[in-house]
């Protein structure tokens, strides 16, 4: 038995070192595979029997056996690329993918692209999973296939217009006040702003400022008659020769040191009367644009007034002794737009830039990590599957719960160490050769044993 066991030990050594060479060869073959995680073969000795001796039991072995092939999930090097959807994980997380049958897989390879339906997929067509955004562009906790919009993004009607300007305190008082028949001659300063209706159509509103008394100014907002349902406005507020209609007005007062003091409620003129009707909110106009939702409310914000809003009176429109000039103006409306480009930040949020200038959150990449990633089952195509040994996945957003961050325009390279692989290959090769010598030596001894009987 002793001589024969050496044969079996040699055979087991051949098998073990052959397997090690297979693992090493697989590592080297995937040297250029994005996101590949290398493996190593682990072995254990085999005990077959005990031989009693004077000093106790003498244990002999029958060789070596393959116990496992362990994965190496250390971080791979990162390389830059020109594709926005090339994503790399800097940390312990895995991308979550689903196949056409709804099966869930996990991967470190971030070579993604858009398919014909604008879904974000990997080279095998598996769909990338993430947290989706709702209609208000807010990322929710709902997970699903990440898909970029191919349709036109809806418009947003203007609700607030901010005007910061300086009105010259030395301007001449126009006692007659503003007249729709001579808007330029009955005002001291004017500025124009484009606003949007419920359909996303742009409309130019011109605001005329008229000094009516010391530290007191009126503003009158005028629009084109082609943009307004003029049937709702009194003829006294329409100038057909100039093609303009007054849609709102109000009063601003200033302190003696030039700060905005009070703002009146705005007068609306879509009630069909010459005098119009007072609103309930300072600066809030009510306008009827052609073809759009009627009674659109647009609040003119001239800054935080001292008396009306208990503000400083200096963060918007002021009245100082310098030339009247516009400092800043903004409004919150925009037209419909189509997706022009997108980007991915380190939190995995995919932001889309639309032709209307808007930047919207479209989705957020979800990541998963496992209590024991060594227990994951390799399923090919750079993917892994959950197993009983890996434990349940912890799913979350990037840069949280130890999942790591997501880097766009980057790819994680294979973590195979070529130098270490060659050294392991030499060791396995010499181990294979040595075990083959054990077999040939055992064979020669058996031959001598057979030759004893001639």
Q: Can you give 115-181 as a three-state secondary structure string?
A: CCCCEEECCCCCEEEEEEECCCCCEEEEEEECECCCCCECCECCCEEEEEEECCCCCCCCCCCCCCC
What Å distances lie between residue 277 and 181, 248, 404, 409, CA to CA?
Answer: 21, 10, 59, 57
Yes or no: say if 23 and 69 are a contact pair by the CB < 8 Å rule: yes
- Residue 85 has a pLDDT of 95
Q: Which residues pair with 213 in a beta bridge?
A: 216
Q: What angle do CA 35, 41, 44 make, to 5 degrees?
A: 155
Closest to 346 in 3D by CA, of 405, 434, 414: 405
Facing residues of 395 across strands?
368
54-68, 84-98, 311-325, 392-406: segment of lowest average pLDDT? 54-68
The pairing of beta strand 296-301 with beta strand 160-166: parallel
pLDDT range class, residue 358, cuts 50, 70, 90: confident
Which DSSP string corresponds to 196-208?
A: E-TT--EEEEEEE
Name the pLDDT band for 9 (thresholds 50, 70, 90). confident
pLDDT at residue 156 in the model = 92
Longest dimension (CA), the chain: 141
**pLDDT score for 148:** 87
Tokens of 261: 């003091």
**17 vs 137, residue with greater confidence:** 17
The CA-based angle 35-39-44, given to 5 degrees, is 165
Give the SS3 label for residue 104: strand
445 Cβ contact list (under 8 Å, min separation 6) = 3
Q: What is the pLDDT of residues 70-107, one digit of tens each?
A: 899 999 999 999 999 999 999 999 999 999 999 999 99
Between 108 and 357, residue with greater pLDDT: 108
Chain region(s) in the chain for CATH 2.60.98.20: 160-331
Structure tokens given for 254: 């200033």
Instruction: Check residue 391 and give its pLDDT.
Output: 92
Q: Is 226's pLDDT higher than 80?
A: yes
CB-based burial, 52-77: b 16+ in 10 Å, e otherwise: eeeeeeeeeebbbebeebebebeebe
Distance CA(318)–CA(323), nearest Å, equals: 11
Query: Would you place residue 382 in the very low, low, confident or very high pLDDT band (cuts 50, 70, 90)?
Result: very high
Q: 365: which strand partners? A: 130
Strands 410-412 and 405-408: unpaired
What confidence score (pLDDT) does residue 278 get? Answer: 94
> What is the mean predicted confidence (pLDDT) over 305-326?
95
CATH superfamily placement of domain 160-331: Flagellar hook protein FlgE (2.60.98.20)
Residue 239 pLDDT exceeds 90? yes
Q: What is the pLDDT of residue 55?
A: 53
Q: Using the predicted structure, report yes or no on whether residue 11 has a pLDDT greater than 60.
A: yes
Q: Which pLDDT value is given to residue 50?
A: 61
Q: What is the mean pLDDT of the chain?
A: 91
Residue 30 CA: distances (Å) to CA of 106, 114, 351, 413, 414: 18, 25, 33, 10, 7
The answer to whether the beta carbons of residues 298 and 158 sit under 8 Å apart is: yes
CA separation for the pair 37, 412 (Å, rounded): 10
Report whether 203 contacts 222 (CB < 8 A): no
Q: For the chain, what percent of residues have pLDDT higher than 90?
A: 74
pLDDT at 48 > cutoff 70: no
Average pLDDT over residues 139-168: 90
For 120-130, what is the mean pLDDT?
95
Structure tokens of 107?
Answer: 């991967």
Per-position DSSP letters for 34-89, written without gaps between them: TT---EEEEEEEEEEEEEEETTEEEEEEEEEEEEEEEE--PPPPEEE-S-TTBEEE
Distances 67 to 24, 46, 348, 417 between C-alpha atoms, Å: 16, 11, 39, 23
Residue 45 contacts residue 64 (beta carbons within 8 Å) = yes
pLDDT confidence of residue 137: 79
Give the pTM: 0.73
Give the C-alpha separation, 128 to 118, whole Å.
Answer: 12
Distance separating alpha carbons of residues 61 and 49, to the nearest angstrom: 7
Task: Give the whole-number percent of the chain exceeding pLDDT 70.
Answer: 96
pLDDT for residue 454 is more than 70: no
Higher pLDDT, 408 or 440: 408
Entry field: residues in the chain: 454
Highest mean pLDDT among 144-148, 202-206, 415-419: 202-206
């Amino acid at each position: 038995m002793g001589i024969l066991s050496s044969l079996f030990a040699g055979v087991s050594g051949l098998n073990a070192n052959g397997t090690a060479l297979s693992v090493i060869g697989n590592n080297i073959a995937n040297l250029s595979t994005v996101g590949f995680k290398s493996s190593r073969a682990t072995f254990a000795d085999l005990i077959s029997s005990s031989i009693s001796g004077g000093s106790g039991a003498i244990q002999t072995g029958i060789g070596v056996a393959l116990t496992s092939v362990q994965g190496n999930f250390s971080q791979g090097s990162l390389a830059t690329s020109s594709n926005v959807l090339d994503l790399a994980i800097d940390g312990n997380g895995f991308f979550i993918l689903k196949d056409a049958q709804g099966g869930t897989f996990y991967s470190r390879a971030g070579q993604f692209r858009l398919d014909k339906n604008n879904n974000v997929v990997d080279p095998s067509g598996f769909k990338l999973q993430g947290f989706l955004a709702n209609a208000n562009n807010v990322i929710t906790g709902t997970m699903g296939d990440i898909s970029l919009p191919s349709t036109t993004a809806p418009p947003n009607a203007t609700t607030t217009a901010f005007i910061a300007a300086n009105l010259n305190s030395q301007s001449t008082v126009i006692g007659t006040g503003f007249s729709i028949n001579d808007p330029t001659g009955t005002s001291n300063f004017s500025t124009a702003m484009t606003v949007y209706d419920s359909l996303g159509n742009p409309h130019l509103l011109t605001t005329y400022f008229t000094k009516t008394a010391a530290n007191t100014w009126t503003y009158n907002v005028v629009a084109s008659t082609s943009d307004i349902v003029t049937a709702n406005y009194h003829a006294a507020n329409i100038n057909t020769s100039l093609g303009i209609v007054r849609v709102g007005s109000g009063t601003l007062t200033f302190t003696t040191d030039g700060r905005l003091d009070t703002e009146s409620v705005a007068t609306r003129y879509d009630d069909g009367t010459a005098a119009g009707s007072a609103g309930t909110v300072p600066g809030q106009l009510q306008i009827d644009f052609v073809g759009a939702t009627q009674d659109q409310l647009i609040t003119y914000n001239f800054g935080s007034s001292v008396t009306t809003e208990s503000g400083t009176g200096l963060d918007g429109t002021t009245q100082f002794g310098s030339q009247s000039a516009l400092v800043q103006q903004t409004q919150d409306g925009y037209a419909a737009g189509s997706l022009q480009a997108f980007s991915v930040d380190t939190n995995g949020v995919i932001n889309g830039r639309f032709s209307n200038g808007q930047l919207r959150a479209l989705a957020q990449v979800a990541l998963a990590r496992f209590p024991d990633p060594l227990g994951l089952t390799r399923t090919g195509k750079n993917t892994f599957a959950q197993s009983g040994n890996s434990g349940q996945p912890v799913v979350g957003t990037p840069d949280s719960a130890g999942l790591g961050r997501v880097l766009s325009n980057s790819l994680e390279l294979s973590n195979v160490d070529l130098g270490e692989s060659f050294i392991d290959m030499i060791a396995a090769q010499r181990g294979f050769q040595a075990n083959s010598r054990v077999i040939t030596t055992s064979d020669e001894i058996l031959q001598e044993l057979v030759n004893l009987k001639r």
